Chain A
Amino acid sequence: MNSDYLKEKRILLVDDEEELLKLVRSILEGEGYRQIRQAGTVREALKLCRQWQPQLAILDVMLPDGDGYALLSRMREMADIPVLFLTAKGEDEDRFRGLGLGADDYIVKPFLPRELSLRVGAVLRRSYKNDVPLVRLAACAVDFERAEVIRGGERLPLTAKEYEILSALYRAAGRIVTIDQLCEAAWGDNPFGYENSLMAHIRRIREKIEANPSRPASLITVKGLGYKLILEGGR
Chain B
Amino acid sequence: MRSIFKLVRRFVATLMLSLLILLVLNIILFLGMASVGLESTGGWTAAETVSSGLAEDGQGGYTLDEAGRAELEKRGAWAILIDDAAGDVVWHSENLPPEIPLHYSVSEIGRGVRGYIRDYPTTSASRGEDLVILGFPKTTYWKLLKNTYDYRLIAGLPRTAVLVVAVNLLCVILIYLTATSGVLRSIRPIVSGIESLPEGTADGERVYVREKGLLQDLARAINRSSERLARQGRELRRKETARANWISGVSHDIRTPLSVVMGYAGQLAEDEALPEEARQKARMICRQSVRMKNLVNDLNLASKLEYNMQPLKPEPVSLTAVARRAAADLINGDAAGTYEVICQWETEGEPCLVMGDKGLLERAAANLLANAQVHNPQGCRIWVRVRAEGEKAVLEVEDDGTGIAPQELTRLRETPHYMMNDGNVKEPRHGLGLLIVRQIAAAHQGEAFFDHGSCGGFLARLSFPRIQKKES
Contacts and interface: CB of A to CB of B under 8 A. Distances in A.
Interface of A: 17, 19-20, 23-24, 26-27, 30, 88-93, 108-114, 116, 175-181, 190, 192-193, 195, 222-226
A109 B292 CA distance: 12
B190 interface: no
B259 A224 contact: no
8 contacts: A27-B267, A111-B263, A112-B266, A112-B286, A178-B325, A224-B324, A224-B327, A225-B343
B260 interface: yes
Interface stretch (B199-207, B249-257, B455-463): B249-257
Given A192-B318, A225-B331, A110 B259 contact: yes
Classify chain B's interface size: 35 or more
Contacts of B289: 110
B149 to A, nearest CB: 93
Contacts of B264: 23
B327 A225 contact: yes
A224 B320 CA distance: 10
Contacts of B331: 176, 222, 225
A195 B320 CA distance: 12
B67 interface: no
A93 B252 CA distance: 14
A110 B343 contact: no
B332 A176 contact: yes
Given A88-B255, A109-B256, A193 B263 contact: no
Query: Which 9 A/B pairs are nearest by Cβ-Cβ distance?
Result: A224-B343, A180-B321, A88-B255, A113-B266, A110-B259, A109-B255, A110-B258, A176-B328, A23-B263
B345 interface: yes
Contacts of A175: 328, 332
Contacts of A224: 324, 327, 343-345
Contacts, number: 103
Given A110-B262, A113-B270, A226-B324, A180 B318 contact: yes
A24 B248 CA distance: 25
B277 to A, nearest CB: 20
Contact of A20 (B251, B259, B270): B259
Interface of B: 248, 251-253, 255-256, 258-264, 266-267, 270, 286, 289-290, 293, 297, 300, 311, 316, 318, 320-321, 324-325, 327-328, 331-332, 341, 343-345, 349, 351, 353, 359
Nearest to B271: A30
B328 A27 contact: no
A109 B258 contact: yes
A179 B252 contact: no
B266 A192 contact: no
A90 B263 contact: no
Nearest to A227: B328
- Interface centre among A17, A93, A110, by most B CB within 10 Å? A110
Contacts of B351: 192-193
With a 10 A CB-CB cut-off, give which of B252, B263, B344 has the most chain A CB atoms: B263
A178 B266 contact: no
Contacts of B248: 91
B255 to A, nearest CB: 4
B255 A30 contact: no
B328 A88 contact: no
Given A110-B263, A113-B262, A225-B327, 14 more contacts: A19-B260, A23-B260, A90-B300, A91-B248, A93-B311, A110-B259, A114-B266, A178-B321, A178-B324, A180-B325, A192-B316, A192-B353, A225-B331, A225-B343
B130 to A, nearest CB: 124
Given A224-B324, A225-B327, A112 B318 contact: no
B266 A90 contact: no
Contacts of B316: 190, 192
B108 to A, nearest CB: 117
A195 B206 CA distance: 52
Contacts of B341: 225
Contact of A108 (B255, B266, B344): B255
A30 B253 CA distance: 27
B353 A112 contact: no
Nearest to A86: B259
A111 B288 CA distance: 13
B297 A90 contact: yes
Contacts of A20: 256, 259-260, 263
Given A110-B255, A192-B353, A222 B328 contact: yes
Contacts of B262: 110-113
A87 to B, nearest CB: 8
B338 to A, nearest CB: 16
A91 to B, nearest CB: 8
A17 B263 CA distance: 14
A222 B329 CA distance: 12
A22 to B, nearest CB: 9
A224 B270 CA distance: 34
B286 to A, nearest CB: 7
B321 A109 contact: no
Contact of B325 (A88, A109, A181): A181
